[in-house]
Amino acid sequence: MTSTSPQLTGVRLLDALDASGLTGRGGAAFPSAVKLRAMTKRHTAVIVNACDGELGAVKDGWVVANHLDELLHGADLVRGLARGAVTFAAHRGSGTERRLRSAGVDVLDAPSRYVSSEESSLISLSQGGLARPMTKRSLYIQGGRDSTGRRIAPTIVLNAETVWRIAQIAERGPEWFRRFGTASEPGPRLASVGGYVGRPVVVETQAGVPVGELLAAARTPADAEYVLVNGLGGAFASIAGVSSAAWSREGLAPFGGRLGPGIIDVVDPRRCPLDMVTELLAYAAGESAGQCGPCMFGVPELSGLWQQYVRTPSARHRRALDINLGLLPGRGGCKFPDGVAGLAVNALAVFADHITEHAAGRCRYAARRTA
């Protein structure tokens, strides 16, 4: 890799990132230049998140495996802005952790739990706490204290793909970056496509391409019917409806989806999708951080009410389920209950005809399994 132009370091790098329109590739899509400018006001520790924490996510491990030199260069650029230490986060015992340690960088090994790679969980772990989400009294990029009064030093968390893109922009310029994607979601980006496919793949793509193009890259079989976009905090959609939609915020919005962390999981057509939702909600119930009521009690209750409803889709069971779904969002210390509730609401709409079948004592997928 050629050396970075002096014009694209420091303040000029921030200006280039601003002009590029780069947003975080971990899911929140927050403008990277804004985040990095806030960081430069004080000495800030940096965590490069390569955990791939969402279900079906593999792209950050792919960046580490295939573009490690550029990733490390991007981390050096961020270090120059932050004037603090840089640590790479990876799940304990993963191939990503081993590759990073072999490269000689500092590695924060996070437990392989769903909430452990959440931004504030990694900040907590890096500063001697548990890998659990912290209630945000202020932005941790500014430092401050957690809900227990423990002092938190200024820290920024950047997704691994985001840091790789910073290196690319520093090397190639914002004009190159904006050749890809759409005006509102510019730049190249990665998508992980897996599940019921002929070839699980990380696709180097851009916003605006048809979703069907990504499915074709993974050799998705013709009998596939549904996809889950962006894991436990995502949304289901029929392949017939979503294939022609653009892979963008606007294109996925009618289906309740967004680009997020860039994951497409193709649902196995031999399984009842209601069973898949049941498993996802049961998994969510077991991944609670155990810190606040919505996570400790609300998510497990949702799992139980969902199972009760799909077994016996009565009006009474639906009312109980709807009450739970109305209470979960916006009440937890992090957004975990919100995402799980959103997935359940989406599944109720997308699979409404299957629920009707279950109410009549039928399931077309059971017939397929016995055929």
- Extents of the domains making up the chain: 6-176, 189-266, 273-370
What integer pLDDT is reported at residue 29 of this predicted model? Answer: 83
**Does the 273-370 domain belong in CATH 1.20.1440.230?**
yes
6-176 and 273-370, same CATH topology: no
The distance from CA 306 to its chain's CA centroid, rounded to whole angstroms, is 24
- Model pTM score: 0.91
Mean pLDDT, contiguous 10-residue spans, the chain (371 residues): 54 94 90 89 91 94 98 95 92 97 96 90 91 74 73 91 97 96 96 97 97 98 96 95 96 90 95 94 87 84 95 92 91 82 96 91 73 48
What integer pLDDT is reported at residue 28 of this predicted model? Answer: 83
Neighbours of 98 (CB within 10 A): 13
Q: What is the widest separation between alpha-carbon atoms in the chain?
A: 69
Element holding 238 (H helix, E strand): strand 235-238
**Which amino acid, 176?**
W
Q: Using CA of residue 325, residue 327, residue 331, residue 332, what is the dihedral sign?
A: negative
Element holding 307 (H helix, E strand): helix 299-311
Q: What is the chain's length? A: 371
**Phi, psi (5° rounding) for residue 248?**
-160, 170
What integer pLDDT is reported at residue 134 of this predicted model? Answer: 82
How far apart, in Å, are the Cα atoms of 67 and each of 62, 108, 168, 296, 371? 8, 20, 11, 39, 46
What integer pLDDT is reported at residue 369 of this predicted model? Answer: 54
Which neighbouring-strand residues pair with 229?
235, 264
Smallest CA-to-CA distance from 262 within 59, 11, 22, 121 is with: 59
> Is 192 in a helix, a strand, or coil?
strand
The distance from CA 7 to its chain's CA centroid, rounded to whole angstroms, is 33
What integer pLDDT is reported at residue 368 of this predicted model? Answer: 61
Cα(308)–Cα(356) distance, rounded to whole angstroms?
14
The answer to whether the CB of 192 falls within 8 A of the CB of 25 is no
What integer pLDDT is reported at residue 1 of this predicted model? Answer: 41
What integer pLDDT is reported at residue 330 of this predicted model? Answer: 81
The CATH code of the domain at 189-266 is 3.10.20.600
Neighbours of 369 (CB within 10 A): 10
Cα(216)–Cα(19) distance, rounded to whole angstroms?
33
Which neighbouring-strand residues pair with 110?
91
Cα(338)–Cα(30) distance, rounded to whole angstroms?
19
Q: Measured at the alpha carbon of residue 165, what is the angle toward residues 194 and 57, in degrees to the nearest 5?
A: 20
Element holding 281 (H helix, E strand): helix 273-286
Reading the block at residue 344, the tokens are 């359940």
Reading the block at residue 193, the tokens are 């496509």
The answer to whether the CB of 59 falls within 8 A of the CB of 202 is yes
Q: For the domain 6-176, what is the CATH superfamily, name and number?
A: NADH-ubiquinone oxidoreductase 51kDa subunit (3.40.50.11540)
What integer pLDDT is reported at residue 138 of this predicted model? Answer: 59
